[in-house]
Structure formats: C-alpha cells, structure tokens
Homo-oligomer: A and B are copies of this chain.
Amino acid sequence: MSDFFADIPQIKYEGPDSTNELAYRFYDKDKMVLGKRMEDHLRFAACFWHTFCWPGSDVFGGGTFDRPWHRGANDSAAAAMKREVAFDFFKTLDVPYYCFHDVDVMADAANITEHRKFFAEAVDHLEQLQASSGRKLLWGTANLFSHPRFAAGGATNPDPEVFAFGAMQVRDALEATHRLGGQNYVLWGGREGYETLLNTDMKRELDNFGRFLSLVVEHKHKIGFTGTILIEPKPFEPTKHQYDFDTATVYGFLKRYGLENEVKVNIEANHATLASHTFEHEIATAAALGIFGSIDANRGDPQNGWDTDQFPNSVEELTLANLEIIRAGGFTTGGFNFDAKVRRQSMDPADLFYGHVGAIDVVAKGLLNAAKLIEDGRIDAIKAKRYAGWDSEFGGAIGGLDLAGIADLAVERGIDPKPVSGQQERIENLINRVL
C-alpha cells in the first residue's frame, strides 16, 4: 500500500450514535433490508476521474490539488502510482466496486499505438489490483471527449477518422471491461451533440451515432460480454445540445435504431436536474420504459446551471430515488457509482473521504427510509385507490370500446366526473415521517 492515505483509518460501520466523522452511521453492509443485504442493494462504486485524475482546476483557475502523481508528466510511473492509490482508497472506503475511463488509468499516449500499449499495461495492473484488493469493476468506459481530436464529437464527428479512432478505443475498453469482469459498459456522449445547429447535419449525426451503438452491441455479443451496455443521458455541457438529452430522448433513440432491448440508461442526478427533471423522475421514467440500468450519484446546485457534480447530501432526495429504484425491482448489473467530486477548495486527502463517507451514508439512509415507506404501505394504498376506477364497472366497460363507443357511453350515462383530491400534502407528510 502507498502511504498517501496513511492517516486515514479503515472506514467501518459504527452505528447512528458514533461520533467518529470517518465511520458509517447508516451503511451497514450486511444488514438485511427488504430481504437483501445493503451492500447488494446499493452496490457502491467509486470512480477514477474526479477523485484521482482531476487536479482541482476549473474554467477560471488552475489545479489546487497537490497530488504526487500530478507533479510531472502523466507517464507510466505516475499512472501506476495513481492506480495504486486509487485501490488503497477503494479498500479503505470499503466499496465493492470502482469505475474508470480508459484514459483515466493510463499514461498519456502520443499516438494510436501508444494508446493501445499504455492501456493494455494499465489493464494488466488493474487485474492484479482487483485480485489483491477484492474490489470489482462496476463499469468501464472510453473517453471520447477530452482529446482535441474529439472537439466535434466521437461517433458523431464529421470526420470518419475520428469515428474510427473512437471505435478503436471503445473496442479496447469494452474488451478490457469484459476481461476485468465488469458488470456494465457505459457510453457518455459528452460531445455527441452540437455547438451550433448551423454547421450540423443532425440526421446524419444521429444515424452515425445509431450505427456506432449498434456496432458496440454487436461486438459485445461477439466477445461474449454479458454485462449491460448503458447510455448516460445529459442535456448539454460541454456541447450546446447533447443528443442523449434525457431518459425519454434516449428511449426514442434506442427505439429508432432497434436497440431498446439491448441498451439501458445510467442516470446521473445532476444531469437529470440540468434537463429540468428530478432525479427520481428519471429513474421512474426509465423503469416505466424498461431501460433502467445504473446510477451516477451526485447532486447539482439548483441555482447554478452547470454540472457541479457535488456529493449527494440530501437524505430527502435519496429517499425518493431509492423508493423508485426499489419499485423498479432494484439493480441487476447496475449500482450507485459516485460521479462526484470534492470542491476545488477541498484539497486535503481527508476531504476525499469526507465526501464519500457522507454520501454513502446519505444513500444508505435513503434506502432505509424508502424501505420503511414500502413497509408502511400507506402511500402505495393512496395511489392504488386513486386509480381504482379503472377496476370499476365503468373502467372495464370502456376497455373494449373504440373512441365513438366510449363517447357514446359517456353521453348515454350522462357522466359528470368530479375532481378528487390528489392528497399531495398528505403524502409529503407521510414521507417526512420516515426521514
């Protein structure tokens, strides 16, 4: 083990009354909740990019984090140090999973040959680190947005060579994910969209994007990868418009290219709110459309219009999110990955733990609360009663009729339906009872 986190003790469950700021108060991995261990419900993962690759820079200023692996070039030694420290972190935090982009874990490559070579070295090392640490891969992905060659997109780039370069990266990252036992493979199309509609052939770009995704699905089957392919919706940023705007948009895209049974969504809380939705709305939508996959847990700032990627800290929000996940049947291959970064001013190594430990407890408490709401049953009962008319004689009668038949029946019966209380305030109170 490296000594980067030498001052940080192993993080453990100590219960609600613990005064230890670096212990779990709610995340008790073996506790049974609704018949399943908490760890198996939540399937937590930590990520490489925000926590180990980002130097604490923003658009208006340079990096504030003084990490040893950032002090020189990102060569093979620096990349190896970063991987070591990351696995120390995953173990100390005791999350079962981690996630990465290809370029997160490797040395900087000057050309396509080096890219493959350095990535392959990194994957060998990750395999060893997984074995020695007992950590598993929730998902892998390829970064088709940071290098200047992707300025105009990856799969949707006007230049077919960029499409091909991206194909190389995704092929390699998908095969690496397969080899490392990854549970899913994710595509976030950060630059799959446009800066200006004025120079964009949207139909062609959508078709190229559809073809790219179809090729990925085909390759997955060819190599025998049984994990899930996930798309991560986001409405914009860095682009003016991203094609994977939100879950409903992704659903339409999948249907258009016949992929709705092959691909699911990886929902990020902050992307949901940027798209003018609640986090729980996106989960419920994905569930209703049959494409719920996984979660990128974080939060946005309701007053700021960009992706702040802060750690979740609202038990209220996570209670509602967990409620929808439980209703969706829970995760299969997915999990809660923390796509969250400590603030630029949180430059101490301990801050990485404060961010994750607090967030894990918030999600865990959210699960406990959601389970209480399910067990209580009152909200489900109110909802069931609200739709009970569809099981009445009239509800049944109109089930088999055409438009004219229904209209005629309405007239014949002289119906005069009255509005009924939706009891929103009462339900909100019932939720507050478990918080």
A305 within 8 A of B: yes
> Is there contact, CB below 8 Å, between A410 and B148?
no
Copies per complex of this chain: 4
A169 CB to closest chain B CB (Å) equals 8
Q: Across the interface, do B316 and A387 meet the contact criterion of CB distance under 8 Å?
A: no
**Please, could you name 20 A-B residue pairs with CB atoms under 8 Å apart, sorted by A?**
A112-B410, A149-B416, A151-B347, A151-B422, A163-B398, A171-B404, A172-B407, A197-B281, A199-B382, A199-B424, A199-B427, A219-B403, A219-B404, A249-B252, A273-B303, A313-B428, A345-B419, A345-B421, A346-B424, A351-B425
Interface residues of A in 379-435 (CB under 8 A from B): 379, 382-383, 386-387, 389-390, 392, 394-395, 398, 402-404, 406-407, 409-411, 414-433, 435
CA distance A252 to B34 in the complex (A): 34
CA distance A104 to B422 in the complex (A): 26
Q: Report the interface size class on chain A.
A: 35 or more
CB neighbours (8 Å) of A303 from chain B are 236, 240-241, 273, 276-278
A350 proximity list for chain B (CB < 8 A): 421, 426
Q: Are A355 and B425 in contact (CB under 8 A)?
A: yes
A132, CB-defined interface residue at 8 Å: no
> Given A60-B190, A149-B418, A347-B421, A215–B406 Cβ distance below 8 Å?
yes
Is A31 located at the chain interface by the 8 A CB criterion?
A: no
Q: How far apart sit A249 and B287, CA to CA, in the bound complex (Å)?
A: 15
Residues 50-83 of chain A, each 1 if its beta carbon lies under 8 Å from chain B, else 0:
0000001011111110000000000000000000
Give the distance in Å from the alpha carbon of A201 to the alpha carbon of B384 in the complex.
9
Contacts of A233-289 to chain B: CB distance below 8 A: 235-238, 240-241, 245-246, 248-249, 251-253, 255-256, 273-278, 280-281, 284-285, 287-289
Residues of B within 8 A of A25 (CB): 433
Scan residues 135-173 of chain A and give those whose CB is less than 8 A from a CB of chain B.
145-152, 157-165, 167-168, 170-172
Give the one of A111, A161, A346 with max B CB within 10 A: A161
Residues of B close to A411: CB separation below 8 A? 112-113, 116, 168
Q: Which of B148, B302, B306, B357 contacts A419 (CB 8 A)?
A: B148
